[in-house]
Amino acid sequence: SQKIEQNSEALNIQEGKTATLTCNYTNYSPAYLQWYRQDPGRGPVFLLLIRENEKEKRKERLKVTFDTTLKQSLFHITASQPADSATYLCAPRNSGNTPLVFGKGTRLSVIA
């Protein structure tokens, strides 16, 4: 069955450092992969999308990589800030409007 694993349930880092979150998937051949942020009591918010033919995508302090051989995506937040504290969810997808299947997420805490 399809499985999505995100590296750890919780990740604590010091403000200013780079946070690296991992998403591994099995039994998928995704055309692309999306990352979302979820704050407590709120709905997920779309952050970035990376396609299978893209190795890397950047948006401001965010960077996502996608390795279809390793079946893995890495999500980096550089110069992290306490406001980056949230749960980050990955969702590999096979086509445009199929339902999202999320991993459990990684809860990031950036400590000042």
Partner 1 sequence: EPEVTQTPSHQVTQMGQEVILRCVPISNHLYFYWYRQILGQKVEFLVSFYNNEISEKSEIFDDQFSVERPDGSNFTLKIRSTKLEDSAMYFCASSEHTGEYQPQHFGDGTRLSIL
| Chain contacts with partner 1 (rule: CB under 8 A) | 31-32, 34, 38, 41-46, 49, 51, 89, 95-105
Smallest distance, partner 1 to C-beta of residue 93, A: 8
The least CB distance from residue 30 to partner 1, in Å, is: 11
Q: Shortest CA distance to 67 belongs to which of 9, 22, 103?
A: 22
Q: How far is the CB of 15 from partner 1 (least distance, A)?
A: 27
Q: Which two tokens stand for residue 43?
A: 């709905």
Q: Which residues contact 52 (CB under 8 A, 6 or more apart)?
A: 30, 31, 32, 66, 68
Kindly tell me which of 16 and 45 has the beta carbon lying closer to partner 1.
Answer: 45
